Amino acid sequence: MEKKRAIFLDKDGTLVDSSMYPNPPGSKLLHNDIINGLRYAQEKGFELFIVSNQSWISKGKLTQEEVIETFESVIAQLKTHDIKITDYLFCPHKNDDYCHCKKPRPGMILELAKKHDIDLANSFIVGDFDEDIEAGKNAGVKTILTLTNTQTHYTNKPDFIIKNLNEIWRVL
């Protein structure tokens, strides 16, 4: 049986507007410029996953239940556009916890890849920060940087740069 290809998506800043974070979960709004790109990726046979650092939990700003509610809300909103998120993981830790899962470490990607039999060499991560790109490189996937935030300096050179997810057709 052939392994599956995947796209690992950062949530905050890539899929949703995170400018109001950590407000209540209902305030998370999908970016307008993601739907066509996600549909295109699915049509090309990619499974979609979300991998997200959520240190708000360990900092006491959000509960794990609120974070799960946010993820479920994003997944439900995407489903109304016929976009299926296969699975998601989030890291609740702070930087100084030195866990295996907090991006730029590849733990979340590797765990989902093992669980869902994903071919990492033919998969991608899409994110808007340096940590996303480094996590992808550490996991052995191709990296795509979206220019959806205000960060202007990147230490890790992504494989591809796109304005937003709707431009993913340029890469796949």
* CATH number, domain with residue 141: 3.40.50.1000
Look at residue 57 in the predicted model and tell me its pLDDT: 92
pLDDT category at 26 given cuts 50, 70, 90 is low
Asked if pLDDT for residue 150 goes beyond 70, the answer is no
Q: Which two tokens stand for residue 147?
A: 């220019």
Give me the half-sphere count of Cα atoms (radius 13 Å) on the Cβ side of residue 163: 4
Q: Based on the structure, what is the number of domains in the chain?
A: 1
pTM: 0.93
- The closest of 48, 58, 49, 75 to 22, measured between CA atoms, is 58
Q: Tell me the two tokens of residue 165.
A: 């997810």
Output the CA–CA distances (angstroms, integers) from residue 158 to 55, 112, 137, in the order listed.
Answer: 24, 21, 9
| Amino acid letter for position 60 | G
- pLDDT-derived band at 18 (thresholds 50, 70, 90) equals confident
> Nearest-5° angle of CA 108, CA 101, CA 13?
70
Structure tokens given for 77: 């909103």
- pLDDT score of 79 more than 60: yes
Task: Point out which residues pair with 1 in neighbouring strands.
Answer: none
Nearest to 41 by CA among 94, 93, 81: 81
Domain that holds residue 90: 5-170
| Each residue's pLDDT tens digit, 29-66 | 788 899 999 999 999 999 999 999 999 899 998 899 99
Q: Is the peptide bond before 22 cis (omega within 30 degrees of 0)?
A: yes
Q: Is the pLDDT of residue 124 over 60?
A: yes
